[in-house]
Amino acid sequence: MAKAQKTDARKKTAAKKAGKKTAPAAKKATTARPAGKKAVAKKAAAKPAGKKKAAPAAKKAARKPAARPRVRETESRSATGPMSDLLAFPEASARPGGRSGKYVYCIIHTNEPCRFGPIGIGSEPAEVHTVNYKDIAAVVSDTPLEVYDPTRENVLAHERVNEVVMRDFTVIPMSFSTVFKTSEDIVELLRSAYDAFRDVLVKMQDKLEFGLKVLWEPETIIREIEKDDDNLRLLRQEISHQKGSTYFARMQYGRLVDSLLQERSEKLVSEIIDALSGVCVASRTNKPIGDKMILNGAFLVARDREPDFDAKVKEIDARYENLIFKYTGPWPPYNFVNIRLKLERASEAE
Amino acid sequence: MLIIDSLLIGGIKFVLDKVASAVDEEMNDETSLREELLAAQMRVELGEMDEEDFVALEREILARLREIRDARRGEASGAMSLGGGFEVDVSFRGNDEESE
């Protein structure tokens, strides 16, 4: 059974639409969502998913990482949802000054001004449009001069815009909550780094980022290791048979377990990255999240190699019984573009 | 929610010259708060934390993040203006070992 699974762009789109439509009735929408369907099928019914719908269920279904579907779900816990008062950012619309800033989503190559519809971040989605300089442009929307909280809703709003733009353009994604005061600032940014933006856009042409997180259950792995490692097994027996204090033995055991886990994790990670290196352009590893994750990887893949990358992930997934793979994408190449902006003078919030 | 980490941690980094040292400590707090948020999201995904607990924790973390930001207001946070001069560096970065 293949545990890894990702949704492709078309499914994503479909899922998104469905997600949006079902937002108000989210409670029962679980099985109706195209992209989430497979992942959710097994356990969705058993889980009173609440307005999050399939999300927890999908997660529980665990080995099926349809992360995009999850994204959809959070998306549908929209501004009208009962949770919105907790999560929305009321200041955004309540602030004086109106929409005087520009929230930047990404940089693209285009000769024409473009509009992407009223899908901007914020409680009242603003029109997403471009600020152009020569043949490159920043995709922006008007916004209050505000720092956006990294709520799921806000992050998804940011991501949704990039998804839409990605359908037609190669993008250099900006990080969440990048806000400039004026269009002039943005033109200035585009102008001064024009060559670099052009260069990176060319390099990113027809490339997509995929995420692969690999997790394990340390308990399971320890048991597995014990089978192979005599020292560990002996120590364990010693602890269980020993009379009196087992403190020292337990310490030793703990240390040995840690180092064996570490060793095993490094070995697995390098095997996985090696296996994928033939089908991707580049890979990067981020800090693992939580104590069960051994790999938090990002892979840059040529569009026409996507099926190969896909197949490889599935193959790897099938090879490692005890690992959980969470496979997501396509994403804009967040992990493969470096933008450093150094302000000479600190700018203020308002 | 697998995206926050890429959005917040990967990609673009803003280096704010003048305030760097003063902000360092808060930045560390901010980073660890964000990591905490990510870890919680991961637990939700793994079915180890339910939605209600997550929402409560998320609210708490966001409030703390906001405090940090408010304390910094007028310095590193908020909308940026390039009027005061700036440097920008944009580059492709490949495999881990090839960069930095």
CA distances for A10 relative to A14, A23, A303, A329, angstroms: 6, 20, 14, 12
Residue ranges of the alpha helices (H) in B9-93?
20-45, 51-72
Find which of A64, A145, A342 to mutate to test the B interface (most B CBs within 10 Å of its CB): A342
Q: Do A181 and B89 touch (CB under 8 A)?
A: no
Out of B15, B42, B78, the one facing A289 most closely (by C-beta) is B42
The residues, any chain, with a CB within 8 Å of residue A219's CB and separated by 6 or more, are: none
| Chain A residue with the nearest C-alpha to that of B70 | A349
User: Distance from B59 to chain A by nearest Cα, in Å?
Assistant: 7
Helix (H) or strand (E) holding A249: helix A247-277
| Chain A residue with the nearest C-alpha to that of B19 | A346
**A278: chain B residues, CB-CB within 8 Å:** none
Out of B18, B62, B65, the one facing A345 most closely (by C-beta) is B18
Q: Tell me, what's the pLDDT at B5? A: 46
Task: Give the SS3 label for residue A262.
Answer: helix
The residues, any chain, with a CB within 8 Å of residue A126's CB and separated by 6 or more, are: A99, A118, A120, A141, A142, A143
Out of A149, A175, A296, the one facing B7 most closely (by C-beta) is A175
Q: Tell me, what's the pLDDT at B31? A: 80
Find which of A202, A289, A324 to mutate to test the B interface (most B CBs within 10 Å of its CB): A289
Q: What does the alpha-carbon distance between residue A295 and residue A280 come to, in Å, rounded to a whole number? A: 16
CA distances for A64 relative to A4, A223, A291, A323, angstroms: 6, 24, 19, 12
Find which of B46, B59, B70 to mutate to test the A interface (most A CBs within 10 Å of its CB): B46
Q: Do A56 and B69 touch (CB under 8 A)?
A: no
Q: Tell me, what's the pLDDT at A235? A: 84
**B45: chain A residues, CB-CB within 8 Å:** 59, 70, 326
Query: Residues in chain B with pLDDT < 50?
Result: 1-23, 75-77, 99-100
Q: Do B55 and A86 touch (CB under 8 A)?
A: yes
| Chain B residue with the nearest C-alpha to that of A328 | B2
Q: Tell me, what's the pLDDT at B73? A: 59
User: Using only C-alpha atoms, what is the Rg of chain A?
Assistant: 23
ipTM given for this complex: 0.70
Out of A175, A180, A197, the one facing B79 most closely (by C-beta) is A180
User: Distance from A234 to chain B by nearest Cα, in Å?
Assistant: 33
User: Distance from B25 to chain A by nearest Cα, in Å?
Assistant: 17
Structure tokens at B88: 């920008």
Q: Tell me, what's the pLDDT at A216? A: 93
Q: Do B3 and A281 touch (CB under 8 A)?
A: no
**B87: chain A residues, CB-CB within 8 Å:** 340-342, 344
Task: Give the SS3 label for residue A180.
Answer: strand
Q: What does the alpha-carbon distance between residue A300 and residue B100 come to, in Å, rounded to a whole number? A: 18
Q: Tell me, what's the pLDDT at A39? A: 32
Give me the half-sphere count of Cα atoms (radius 13 Å) on the Cβ side of residue A269.
Answer: 22
Neighbours of A93 (CB within 10 A): 14
**A104: chain B residues, CB-CB within 8 Å:** none
Q: Do B87 and A350 touch (CB under 8 A)?
A: no
Q: Do B7 and A199 touch (CB under 8 A)?
A: no
User: Distance from B44 to chain A by nearest Cα, in Å?
Assistant: 6
pLDDT, tens digit only, all 350 positions of chain A: 444 444 443 333 333 333 333 333 333 333 333 333 333 233 333 333 333 333 333 333 333 333 333 332 222 222 222 222 223 333 333 344 466 899 999 999 999 999 999 999 988 889 999 999 999 999 999 998 877 888 888 888 999 999 999 999 999 999 888 889 899 999 999 999 999 999 999 999 999 999 999 999 988 898 888 888 888 888 888 888 877 777 888 888 888 889 999 999 999 999 999 999 999 999 999 889 888 999 999 999 999 999 999 999 999 999 998 999 999 989 999 999 988 887 765 444 43
Find which of A154, A179, A338 to mutate to test the B interface (most B CBs within 10 Å of its CB): A338
**B22: chain A residues, CB-CB within 8 Å:** none
Q: Tell me, what's the pLDDT at B35? A: 84
Structure tokens at A69: 């579907």
Q: Do B78 and A50 touch (CB under 8 A)?
A: no
Are the C-beta atoms of A99 and B79 separated by less than 8 Å? no
Q: Tell me, what's the pLDDT at A345? A: 54
Structure tokens at A124: 């009242």
Burial status of residue A101 (CB atoms within 10 A of its CB: 0-12, 13-18, 19 or more) = buried
Q: Tell me, what's the pLDDT at A41? A: 30
